[in-house]
Amino acid sequence: MTAPSRPAGTAPKVERVYEDTTVLRAIDERMYPPPEPKLPMIDASGVTIRYGRHEPVLDKANFTIHSGDFTFVLGASGSGKTSLLRLLFRDVLPTEGSVVVAGQSLRRLRGRGLAHFRRQVGFVFQDFKLLPGRTVYENIGMALRVTGCSRKQVRDRVEHILPRVGLTHRRNAYPAEISGGEQQRVAIARAMVGNPMILLADEPTGNLDPHLSVAILDLFEGFNLRGTTVVIATHDTATAVERGKRVLRIEDRKVREGVR
């Protein structure tokens, strides 16, 4: 490494530090630690999803998503994107194959174990699934209430996330009183307020105008930068390509890497 040229009048001590590459390397390593090897956060192997006697939605699909990844799942309408997300959320079980999420085999999850698993996975539903009789604040706080957080903890964390999704001024409004984009952000806030390891979002920009879509995806990227593994299902190839993130596409009931 070449030391920068010494400006006139600088102290010799500083010059020595600049010239000592060992010290510079130590500073570098502290500020920019080498990336840890990524661990698989989601590992699906030989997964088939079949509803009743119909044709399978996914057929012996294999894919892995690593911790801290930002992944788009692309596919046409009805291709099985929602089924795949529901699978990762343990809302459906694979007919065949195994899925391990955050080190837990989903097939074995039941009752309390399932509830605890879902607290580690935030899900932004396509239809938002907000509680109509609860305010924005209560809807977001519900994800914490179910974990047994105290009122103060709920207040602190909801108050912290409200400005991040730009909803501080709408905290006392009911879902019917806010726009679709705002409902979307409530759903995102609810999914993220518990600081989950994984964020799953089903067509989060499907019904939004382009400007709002960009804002919502920026929000997801922000969460991803803080370490959350993000998986977004969308049919919008352009958006996925523009963001330059990893893409998995569902095609012919298989999960394949990249955009075709």
By the criterion CB under 8 A, which residues form the site for another protein? Answer: 89, 91, 111-112, 115-119, 123, 125, 129-131, 133, 142-143, 145-147, 151, 190, 194
Nearest approach in angstroms of CB 84 to another protein is 16
Nearest approach in angstroms of CB 246 to another protein is 26
Nearer to another protein (CB atom), residue 92 or residue 214: 92
Task: Specify whether the backbone of 142 is left (phi greater than 0), alpha (psi in -120 to 50) or beta.
Answer: alpha
First to last CA, the chain: 42
Nearer to another protein (CB atom), residue 136 or residue 143: 143
Nearest approach in angstroms of CB 216 to another protein is 20
Nearer to another protein (CB atom), residue 74 or residue 121: 121
Task: State the amino acid at position 127 in one-letter form.
Answer: D
Q: Which of 88, 72, 39 is nearest to 221 (CA)?
A: 72
| DSSP assignment string, 138-186 | HHHHHHHHTTT--HHHHHHHHHHHTGGGT-GGGTT--GGGS-HHHHHHH
In order of 36, 45, 209, the CA distances from 196 in angstroms are 20, 23, 27
Nearer to another protein (CB atom), residue 124 or residue 219: 124
**Residue 189 to residue 178: CA distance in whole angstroms:** 15
Nearest approach in angstroms of CB 179 to another protein is 20
Nearer to another protein (CB atom), residue 39 or residue 115: 115
Nearest approach in angstroms of CB 120 to another protein is 8
